[in-house]
Every structure is written in C-alpha cells, then in structure tokens.
C-alpha cells in the first residue's frame, strides 16, 4: 500500500569539518557528538535514508524505491536510470576541502554513477562566513596544480560572502568549497563523486591527510572565470505565505514555501516531491493524511494529483524532477 506522504529517517555522516548544529537545531539522529552531513533523502549506496512512517517503516529507501515504491516516482521521475536526486543538510564548523565534481559523461565512464551538479540553500551563517565558488581569473592546469601543492590555491578562487536565504548553483566542473560557519541544504544529483584539489594540509582523527585527486580534478575542472555570486531570487506572495523558485536545471527543480498561516504546495503525477523543513513547525496534509513537521524533518511525497497543505509558521524546501 502506498501512503500519501512518508517521513524519512536520514543517514548521518561524520567528517573532520562537521559541527553540532544538525544535532542541536535540526535534530538529526547522528549517534555521535558532531554531524557533518545528514542525507535526508537518499537512495545512494553510501548512505540510504530509511522510511520512518507508514506500513513500510524501517525499510531502506534505496530498496523500497526499486520495489514497492517504484510506482511513486511519477511519469518523469521514472525515466531516470537511478533515483535522480540526493538531498542533504550540511553543517560546516570548519571549511570543506577545495573540490570539484565531474559531469555525467566523465562520472559514468570513470565512477559508474551520475555526475554532480549541486545547489546550496544557505540556512545559517556566522558573521563573516564565506565560500569559494569558481576561479577569480582564467588559470592554466599547471598553475592550479602548483598552487594546490604549495598551498596558495585559495588566492585564485572566487570568494563569496554568504547570508541566510542565499542560493548558489554549482555546475559540475566548478571548483568550490563551503567555508566555516555555514549550515545549508544541498540539492544535488544522486552522486558521491568528489575530487579534492586541496585540503589545507589538515589531518583527520587518525592523524592522516585525506586523499587528494588532482589528476582527475584537473581533467574535469572549468578553469575560466565564470559568473559568480548567489542566484537572483524573486519571492512572490501567495495565499498564506510566500513562494520562491530557488533553482532549476535538467536534473531537478527546487522551490521554497514560507508559510505564515496555511498554504498549498501543488503536487503532480509527473514527479515525486521531497520536502525538507528548514524553519519552524506545523502540519502537512496530503490527500487526508496529516503529519507533524518540524525544522530538520524530511518527507517524501509520491507523485500524485492534488496539493500538500501546510498549516503553521514554517518553511519547506520542495524538490521535484
Ligand atoms: Zn561539492
């Protein structure tokens, strides 16, 4: 039996740069003192989420979505070879490595998975927080290699200040790094392929330097100065709240609903919806089925006609394909 809406239990991941906000403010079940990434909607083999409501509660999402849940993907959702998206909450107490992700063609050929275009919605940032997003001027592969090796790569990366609500769209091939003091929601292709260029010479909990992948990174990196800065957003008033298109590409469409009293999220038979609660608390109702929602919660809504009713003062990030 297919439910109208499912709560998800995320897969939590540690890293040298992880902080505590996902535990304290987003109630992620990390079972540890820090949490770097919480994969709130994931069918990836490196960390599937688990269904947490309904008759299938306890089943791994990666198993369910190719079994009983396959019919929930929608007419467009089912055209992808694998489940198309991976959605995360990320809390960087320290900066992430300077990295790049390959596009589909390179990733299928070398890693047997999707490439990775990703989008960040900044949830919280400490004063002065910044990230690296592309290069500051056109560079040669030789210069990048030399700077990665002698620790001066940051000098030629484009540095961007961040504020809560900002959206950054990181195409595959864009060199980037999330800086310290940033908590965000990441919407990305379902891929776990990262090529590290530089990791600040820091060591992990076992005293080891993390592996770098300079050769592959240089093969996939765009070394021309590109467009920089956060996406231009145009929030619109809707009955009961506000609506903002965050970003769209051939891989996903993400939208933000800020509900003050009650508002409706349109559903469709084209695609499932991922709902991640990024602020406040309230109630979600889909086709007569209601479920409590709080900051940090993640829900999977099967492709279907009708609406998801939001009631309360809270915000959700909605993703479909
Ligand atoms: Zn990345």
Structural domains in the chain, sorted by start: 6-73+83-220 (2.60.120.10), 236-320 (2.60.120.10)
Q: Specify the pLDDT at position 206.
A: 85
Strand partners, 184: 90, 122
**What residues contact residue 7 under an 8 Å CB cut-off, 6+ apart?**
51, 52, 53, 291, 297, 298, 299
What is the distance in A from the centroid of ligand 1 to the CA of 175?
8
Q: What's residue 119's pLDDT? A: 96
Question: How far, in Å, is the centroid of ligand 1 from the Cα of 282?
Answer: 31
Q: 298 alpha carbon to ligand 1 midpoint, in Å?
A: 21
Q: 25 CA distance to ligand 1 centroid (A)?
A: 23
Which pLDDT tens digit goes with each residue over 251-297? 999 999 999 999 999 999 999 999 999 999 999 999 999 999 999 99
| CA of 119 relative to ligand 1 center, distance in Å | 9
Give the CB-side neighbour count of residue 115, counting CA atoms within 13 A: 19
Q: How far is the CA of 20 from the centre of ligand 1 (A)?
A: 20
How many angstroms is it from 100 CA to the middle of ligand 1? 6
Dig out the tokens for 132 from the structure. Answer: 């690296």
Tokens describing residue 109: 């050929």
For residue 276, report the distance from its CA to the centre of ligand 1, in Å.
20
pLDDT lower than 50: segments of the chain: none
Write down the pLDDT at residue 203: 86
Residue 289 pLDDT: 96
Q: Which two tokens stand for residue 234?
A: 């145009």
Give distance in angstroms: CA of 291 to centre of ligand 1: 32
Q: What pTM was estimated for this model as a whole? A: 0.95
Q: Residue 57: what pLDDT?
A: 96
Distance from the alpha carbon of residue 2 to the mean position of ligand 1, in angstroms: 34
| Cβ contact 274:310 at 8 Å | no
Report the separation in Å between the CA atom of 125 and the middle of ligand 1, taken as the mean of its atom positions. 18
């Amino acid at each position: 039996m297919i439910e109208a809406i499912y709560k998800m239990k995320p897969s939590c991941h540690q890293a040298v740069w992880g902080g505590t906000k996902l535990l304290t403010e987003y109630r992620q079940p990390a079972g540890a003192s820090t949490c770097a990434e919480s994969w709130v909607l994931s069918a990836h083999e490196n960390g599937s989420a688990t269904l947490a409501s309904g008759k299938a509660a306890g089943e791994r999402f990666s198993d369910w979505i190719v079994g009983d849940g396959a019919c929930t993907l929608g007419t467009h959702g089912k055209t992808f070879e694998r489940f198309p998206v991976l959605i995360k909450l990320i809390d960087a107490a320290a900066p992430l490595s300077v990295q790049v992700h390959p596009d589909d063609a390179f990733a299928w050929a070398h890693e047997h998975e999707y490439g990775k275009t990703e989008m960040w919605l900044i949830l919280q940032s400490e004063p002065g927080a910044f990230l690296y997003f592309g290069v500051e001027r056109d560079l040669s592969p030789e210069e990048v290699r030399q700077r990665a090796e002698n620790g001066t790569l940051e000098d030629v990366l484009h540095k961007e200040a961040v504020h809560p609500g900002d959206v950054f769209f990181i195409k595959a091939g864009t060199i980037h790094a999330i800086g310290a003091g940033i908590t965000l929601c990441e919407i990305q292709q379902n891929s776990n392929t990262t090529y590290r260029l530089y990791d600040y010479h820091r060591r992990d909990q076992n005293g080891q330097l993390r592996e770098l992948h300079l050769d592959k990174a240089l093969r996939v990196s765009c070394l021309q100065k590109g467009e920089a800065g956060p996406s231009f957003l145009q929030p619109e008033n809707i009955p009961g709240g506000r609506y903002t298109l965050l970003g769209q590409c051939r891989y996903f469409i993400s939208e933000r609903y800020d509900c003050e009293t009650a508002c409706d999220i349109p559903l469709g038979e084209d695609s499932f919806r991922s709902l991640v609660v990024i602020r406040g608390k309230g109630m979600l109702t889909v086709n007569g089925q209601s479920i409590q929602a709080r900051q940090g919660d993640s829900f999977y809504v099967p492709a279907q006609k009708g609406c998801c009713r939001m009631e309360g003062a809270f915000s959700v990030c909605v993703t479909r394909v």
